[in-house]
Structure 1
Amino acid sequence: MPHTSLIIHFVWATWDRIDMIDETWERPLYAQICHEATRLEASVLALGGTGNHLHLLVGLKPIIAPAVFIGEIKGSSSFVVNQQKWFGGHFQWQGDYSAFSVSRWDKPKIIAYVNSQKEHHANGTIKSQLELPPSKR
């Protein structure tokens, strides 16, 4: 029986990196993302972000490509935000995303980093290599 360990750290932003994600609906958004990840047979290890971008650390099965996975996550979550009218206008993610493979030895550090996104951005302690490149939409 094959053994795989595919841990991926995804980062993606709102359209034009506008602060669209409000704390009043952040939890239901995160719940929806976790639900969709589970539907796609992924294990959510950490999820966090700020008003204009999210970080998601997942364990993927080798049956789904990372690009397909994140496309499903972004598509379903923006659909729910718009359907529920959480944003109050049209909500959209940027087309781009970042995806980094993570070793099992680095996993605890990345989990801590993802779970404390608000603090890292407030304190200026972000790790640029784990963030998004400049916006291209």
Structure 2
Amino acid sequence: MSNTYSQIYIQVIFAVKGRKNLIPKEHRIELQKFITGIVNRRDQKLIAIYAMPDHVHLLIGLKPNVAISDIVRDVKAGSSKFISDNNWVYGKFNWQSGYGAFSYSRNQLDRVCEYIANQEHHHKTKTFKEEYLEFLEKFEVEFDSKYLFEWIE
């Protein structure tokens, strides 16, 4: 798209179906590289990524030629197949339906990257549910709790 200029930064968060800890720590880097490849092939820029055992955070520099829902669909479908094909779990791996998408300005990127990189540290004191609800409240996203991720209490 000539003469189109943008600066769109989106943090995407999605969870493993059933909120189970199915992403093995020893495969985290491999999964992150695979997801990075998906984003790059869509001609988007992956700025930060961290795959926890039960959820993933991505920070994407998004060009206006692709919808957020399309990139998330491709990432979730491709990575589900990758995990299943590599037999990291018994049976077929799936992500939960839905995701969170939160926008940032350029001057917030360092802080967001640091937050994503420190996921293990954050989750020593905060559950994923607490983290996700904080995002929804911070960004003033209206939601119905019956449509949120399945939570394991």
TM-score under structure 1 length normalisation: 0.90
CA distance in 2, matches of 1:91, 1:57: 23
- Give the structure 1 partner of residue 21 of structure 2: 19
Tell me what 1:94 maps to.
Answer: 96
Q: Aligned partners of 1:13 and 1:69: how far apart in 2? A: 16
Is there any run of 5+ residues in structure 1 with no aligned partner, and where?
none
Q: In structure 1, give the amino acid aligned to 2:135.
A: Q
Which runs of 5 or more residues in structure 2 are unaligned?
138-144
CA distance in 2 between partners of 1:135 and 1:45 (Å): 25
Partner residue in 2 for 1:129: 135
Q: Per-residue displacement from partner, 1:57-86 (whole Å, max 9, x unpaired)?
A: 010111100001100000000011111112
* 3-state SS in 2 of match to 1:10: strand
Q: Name 1:47's counterpart in structure 2.
A: 49
Q: Which aligned pairs between 1:108-127 and structure 2 lie closer than 5 A? A: 108-124=110-126, 127=131
Bigger radius of gyration: 2
1:18-41 alpha-carbon deviations (Å, 9 max, x no partner): 111111211111111000000011
After TM superposition, what 4+ stretches of structure 1 lie above 4 angstroms from structure 2?
none
> How many pairs does the alignment contain?
136
Asked if 1:65 corresponds to 2:71, the answer is no
Give the fraction of aligned pairs with identical amino acids, expressed as a percent.
Answer: 28
SS at match of 1:123: coil
Tell me how far apart the structure 2 counterparts of residues 101 and 40 of structure 1 sit (CA, whole Å): 19
User: By how many angstroms is 1:123 displaced?
Assistant: 3.1
TM-score norm. by structure 2 comes to 0.81
In angstroms, what is the RMSD of aligned CA positions? 2.1
- Of residues 60-69 and 120-129 in structure 1, the stretch that sits farther from structure 2 once superposed is 120-129
1:80 to 2:94 alignment: no
The separation in 2 between residues aligned to 1:41 and 1:136, in whole angstroms, is 32
State the alpha-carbon separation in 1 of the partners of residues 89 and 34 from structure 2: 15
Deviation at 1:89, TM superposition (A): 2.9
Aligned pair in 2 of structure 1 residues 130, 21: CA closer, same or farther (>3 Å)? farther
Contact persistence 1:43–1:60 (CA under 8 A):
yes
What amino acid is aligned across from residue 29 of structure 1 in structure 2? L
